[in-house]
Amino acid sequence: MAERVLRELRYHLLLCDEAGDFCGCQAAGAAEFRTALRRALAERGLARFVKTTIMTCNQPRARGPVLVVYPDGIWYDGLTVEDIPRFLDEQILAGRPLEDKLLRRPLVTGQTAY
C-alpha cells in the first residue's frame, strides 16, 4: 500500500498553522483554507496525488497562510479559499506557480514581509 501511494504521489503540500505575534497564519484563516483545500482535492480526485501535512511555523512574520509545495520548492503566502480552484488548475495540474501569491523573498528574524 505504501509503495502504491509513493508511486502516485506528485506533490506534498506543507501548510503551517500557528498563532502568535510572530505570524499571521491562524488569523489569516489557515484552518479554513486547509479544510477547503483538502475537500477540493478529494472532490477533484487529486487526493491520491497530493499529500497535505500541517507544519509548525514555516516562515516567521509572513502574512499567511504559508504553503510550501514539494518537491518543487515553491513557497506561497496569502492564498485564500477563493484561490483554491486556480491553485489546483495552475499549480497542481499544470505545474505553473501563481505568480501573484508567491512568497517572494526569504525573511530573516527581525524583518517584516510587507
Residues near ligand FES (CB under 6 A) are 16, 18, 23, 25, 57-60, 62, 64, 66
Asked if the bond preceding 71 is cis, omega within 30° of 0, the reply is: yes
Q: Please, are residues 47 and 8 in contact by the beta-carbon 8 Å criterion?
A: no
Residues 29, 105: Cα–Cα separation, whole Å: 22
Question: Which one, 29 or 64, has the nearer CB to ligand FES?
Answer: 64
Q: Tell me, what amino acid is at 50?
A: V
Question: Which one, 9 or 54, has the nearer CB to ligand FES?
Answer: 54
Question: Which one, 46 or 81, has the nearer CB to ligand FES?
Answer: 81
State the nearest-atom distance from the C-beta of 57 to ligand FES, in Å: 3
State the nearest-atom distance from the C-beta of 8 to ligand FES, in Å: 28
State the nearest-atom distance from the C-beta of 16 to ligand FES, in Å: 3
State the nearest-atom distance from the C-beta of 22 to ligand FES, in Å: 7
Q: Please, are residues 106 and 58 in contact by the beta-carbon 8 Å criterion?
A: no
Ramachandran angles phi, psi of 44, nearest 5°: -95, 10
